[in-house]
Amino acid sequence: MKTLAAQVITPEDLLKHWQGHRALTRRVIEAFPEKDFFEFSIAGMRPFAKLADELLAIAVPGLKGIVTKETKPFAEDSEKLVFKAQYLEKWDQATAEINEYWQKLSIEDFNENFNLFGQYEFPVIQNILYFIDNEVHHRGQGYVYLRALGIEPPFFWER
């Protein structure tokens, strides 16, 4: 039997933390005007819809890979979404799927190495923190887009 080192956050609280961030990103998607969500960009960076594609391609596929120990390569969905409402629907499906897959993680899993997308060999906890950080990072970009569009973004601390 392994002894666990003293650690500082429970799986439940980490899931809540992640889903809190995802709820905020959902509000950022909602805040974009339909057209700007797909088209607005600064300095040739991706529009927010493209960033949302990336976030959707990481969250459930990444977590599913961790749980099933399958290392499928990273791939954005080939089904092209053309309305914001479709993104919001897919976002909500992902929220539910994350909650389901999360229940299949054991406490030991978090410290096991996993080769995410067959490319990033790190402990699971680091993979999951990366999912969150990457979302916060791109959402920060979305905040600048909204401001540049003259739109007040949601409060950062509202989750």
Binding segment toward a second copy, per CB under 8 A, in 36-44, 59-67, 75-83, 85-93: 36-44
Among 51, 22, 48, residue whose Cα is nearest residue 35? 48
Give the distance, in angstroms, between the CA of residue 124 and the centroid of all CA atoms in the same chain.
15
Report residue 119 as tokens: 């490319």
Q: Among the residues of the chain, which ranges form H helices?
A: 11-31, 34-39, 48-68, 84-102, 124-148
Report the residue from 45, 57, 81, 88 that binds a second copy according to the rule CB under 8 A: 45
Q: Scanning residues 4 to 23, which ones bind a second copy (CB under 8 A)? A: 4-11, 13-14, 17, 21
Give the span between the Cα atoms of 112 and 94, in whole angstroms: 24
Number of residues that bind a second copy (CB under 8 A): 40
Nearer to a second copy, 74 or 130 (CB): 130
Q: Which residue has the tokens 């990033």?
A: 120
Positive or negative, the CA dihedral 85, 100, 16, 75 is: negative
Q: Scanning residues 50 to 109, which ones bind a second copy (CB under 8 A)? A: 107
Nearer to a second copy, 45 or 81 (CB): 45
Binding site for a second copy (CB under 8 A): 4-11, 13-14, 17, 21, 42-45, 107, 110-111, 125-126, 129-130, 132-134, 136-141, 143-145, 147-148, 150, 156-157
